[in-house]
Chains A and B, each alone.
Chain A
Amino acid sequence: MTNIVMGYKQSTVPHKLVIVSGISLLVFIILPFTINSFQLSLMSKLLLFGTLGVSLDLVWGFTGILSFAHGVFFTLGGYASAYYLKLNLSAASNTYGGELPDFMVWNGLEKLPWFIAPLKYFPVALVATIAVPALFAYIIGYFIFRSKVSGVYITIITIAISSALTTFFVSQQAYTGGTNGITDVSSLRLFGVQLTALGLYFLILAYAAFVIALSWSLTQSNFGLILRSINENEQRISFLGYDVAQFKIFIWTLSAAIAGMAGGLFVPLNRFISPVYLAVAFGTQVVIWVAIGGRGTLVGPLIAAILLGQVQNYAEKVTQDWQLVVGILLLVVVLFLPNGLMSLLPKRASLKNLSKPKPLPVTVLTKK
């Protein structure tokens, strides 16, 4: 991979990074053959949550926009994929035999609503899984970044969006299944083949690896440099002639698309989607993964999601109060480890350090 900086080619992938990521990918490939089926589905879920964390890291860690609405993008993608899976139930497993999903029958709908009907077809559903959250994010992003709304207020707006959308989805029972959401969906079939749990795991792993690679190369590029500069001094970057809002809207929309696809993959795994994942509480959990893992590290959120998920898994067997553990951990990290768990790694081993582009020669900057 090369990075073209103002006409100068510059190699930016250190060998160490290639080795480390190769080994970790290998570990994740071997992992499913060593664990039981419960752990397999748990790990698939945590990989998806980690990917969601990576998508938030792009906007929060690199650009400095703290969003509590990433659960919303995740869930919007999830609903798109849930409609597809629900509409493709075989007539035998569909309670009412017909075309209409059960919750619509219960709520007295007689025809499939026009905006849900096209989701029966795989290509439409696949595009919708990415496009619906991205479009929603674009509208919000255009709305808030093109104005003088500043840091904390953006966060408050995302909380309000999450809260309003939850209420909306719960109230539109006929279309969304209300509080229960969409349950009993069919399993995912790709090219006429039923996906097994193992297949789904590899699909998710591939997606997670793709997202990390994409985010990494994005943040290493000039584009990523501008994002980081926006985080550090927004005003100066806009004085240099960059349209800051445009960059923010782009990364915000991209991040929502990534989150939406993660939600889309979550449904065949989880077998249902509900407004729980829209609510502020879930959006906060995503923030917690990024905060604990380390902002701007990309792999930090993934590691934190897996670690916390496993802690929760084992703590749940002992006590109901695993949330308390997470709360204390969050407090400790914020107060004593402001850069997250990744900052515990020795400096030389830190991926963030490895991936930092070398300072450009002064001549490059002064040319032109």
Chain B
Amino acid sequence: MLDYTFPTLFSTPHVLIAQEAAASNEGFDILTLLNQALNGIGIVGILLLTGLGLAITFGVMRIINLAHGEFIMLGAYVTFVFQDAFDLDLLMTIPLAFLITAFIGAVVEITIIRRLYGHPLETLLATWGLSIVLQGVVKLIFTAQLKYVKAPAYLSGNLPLVSDDSGAAVVAISYYRLFIVGVALALLGLTLYLFYGTSWGRQIRAVTQNRDMAKCLGVNTKLVDMGTFAYGCGLAGVAGSVISALKSVAPPMGQDYLVDAWMVVVTGGVDKLIGILAGSLLIGEANAIIAFMLNDPLARVIVLGAVIILIRYRPEGLFTVQKRV
């Protein structure tokens, strides 16, 4: 339980390279800053992906899900298994990751979460227990060894944006990071459509606003709860699947993403899904820019501190209209 891993989300090689460049150039360098900002876009994509599932389980359903990181980890393992056993392309494993983690999420909802609605602190404890159990089970099956997932060949390489006289790219963003941003935005769009454009979404919103009234009107609240939780977990699975190619896959990997996902959801505002986009943009870019000026760990400390201050003054998040109770 005392396994300690340094939060690695932000310490990507790109950041380090950019830092070295900044150190050698002595002073303000607009190109490095631009690179850093683009790198920030990559972080934004990851934050958006990891925060989206949580935005549904916490923002919509009000479940304090501390096992969210473990669903990300499960998604990564699904990708690893299918790539290892069947040599499937990473893109092919994404829907499988969604289905499998959503199924596990549904089972968890039926066995654990369902008994705890209305007891936020109990949910928090139970999901933490669940996260320990999921990590333990995965460790039993796959051992604690690091696993690696290959990104497809057509997503490797960098997209050059600015090049110097000799033609070498000075400002570039990797295709894979663009791909992450694309997937994240697509999922956000899909989720928005599902919630605000379909009858299922209307039912979800009805249940979360007034459970008893929805039940009276013939909505199967149990089914809606299960479906929503499973969908949130499925999104975490997709996040894990996409992230797996960036980092090694290991049982405790989910912990790295949990705190950041929470910060995104809290910053963005828990009521509006679109707030997640704003929250991840703000945190991702602030992190990249501060890392450019100071250094990586300090940037993380400053951003976390800023989020804490934000919660103090606007607990509902930046982008929620304050309501009268």
Contact = CB atoms under 8 A, between A and B. Distances in A.
| B interface residue count range (under 10 / 10 to 19 / 20 to 34 / 35 or more) | 35 or more
Contact of B312 (A144, A159, A338): A144
Interface string A1-30: 000000000000000000000000000000
Interface string B106-146: 00000010011000111011101111110111011000000
B2 A161 contact: no
B86 to A, nearest CB: 28
Given A167-B301, A327-B133, A280 B308 contact: no
A330 interface: yes
Interface in B270-323: 295-298, 300-301, 304-305, 307-308, 311-313, 315
Interface string A262-292: 0000000000000110011110110110010
A118 B260 CA distance: 37
Interface residues of A, number: 49
A321 B139 CA distance: 8
B129 to A, nearest CB: 3
Nearest to B135: A323
A66 B133 contact: no
B315 A148 contact: yes
B172 interface: no
Contact of B301 (A159, A168, A281, A328): A168
Contacts of B6: 167, 170, 179
A149 B125 contact: no
B180 interface: no
Q: Chain A CB within 10 Å — which of B124, B132, B255, B296 has the most? A: B132
B120 A151 contact: yes
A153 B317 CA distance: 11
| Interface majority SS (helix, strand, loop, mixed), chain B | helix
A335 interface: yes
B210 to A, nearest CB: 21
B129 A330 contact: yes
Given A276-B2, A321-B140, A156 B129 contact: no
A160 B133 contact: no
A245 interface: no
B297 A170 contact: yes
A164 interface: yes
A166 B256 CA distance: 13
B164 interface: no
B16 to A, nearest CB: 14
Nearest to A158: B308
Interface string A148-185: 11111101110111011111101100000001000000
Contacts of B301: 164-165, 167-168, 171
A234 B140 CA distance: 45
Contacts of A242: none
A211 B171 CA distance: 59
Contacts of B300: 164, 167
A193 interface: no
Given A156-B266, A327-B136, A66 B304 contact: no
Given A281-B2, A287-B125, A331-B112, A167 B132 contact: no
A109 interface: no
Contacts, number: 137
Interface string A314-338: 0000001101101111110011001
Contacts of B295: 171
Contacts of B129: 327-331, 334
B126 A153 contact: no
B153 interface: no
B112 A335 contact: yes
Contacts of A210: none
Contact of A321 (B121, B136, B262, B297): B136
Contact of A155 (B115, B124, B132, B135): B124
B214 interface: no
Contact of A143 (B266, B297, B312): B312
Interface in B1-57: 1-4, 6-7
A151 B312 contact: no
A287 B311 CA distance: 22
A276 B2 CA distance: 6
A291 B121 CA distance: 11
A93 interface: no
B289 to A, nearest CB: 17
A152 B125 CA distance: 12
17 contacts: A152-B124, A155-B121, A157-B308, A164-B300, A167-B297, A167-B300, A168-B298, A281-B2, A281-B255, A288-B128, A321-B140, A323-B135, A330-B129, A331-B126, A331-B129, A331-B130, A331-B133
The 10 closest A-B pairs by CB, nearest first: A327-B132, A324-B136, A171-B297, A330-B129, A164-B304, A327-B133, A331-B129, A334-B126, A163-B259, A276-B4
Given A155-B64, A157-B311, A171-B301, 19 more contacts: A144-B312, A149-B311, A153-B311, A155-B121, A161-B304, A164-B300, A167-B297, A280-B255, A288-B125, A288-B128, A321-B140, A323-B136, A324-B139, A326-B132, A327-B132, A327-B136, A328-B133, A330-B125, A334-B122
Interface of A: 66, 143-144, 147-153, 155-157, 159-161, 163-168, 170-171, 179, 275-276, 279-282, 284-285, 287-288, 291, 320-321, 323-324, 326-331, 334-335, 338
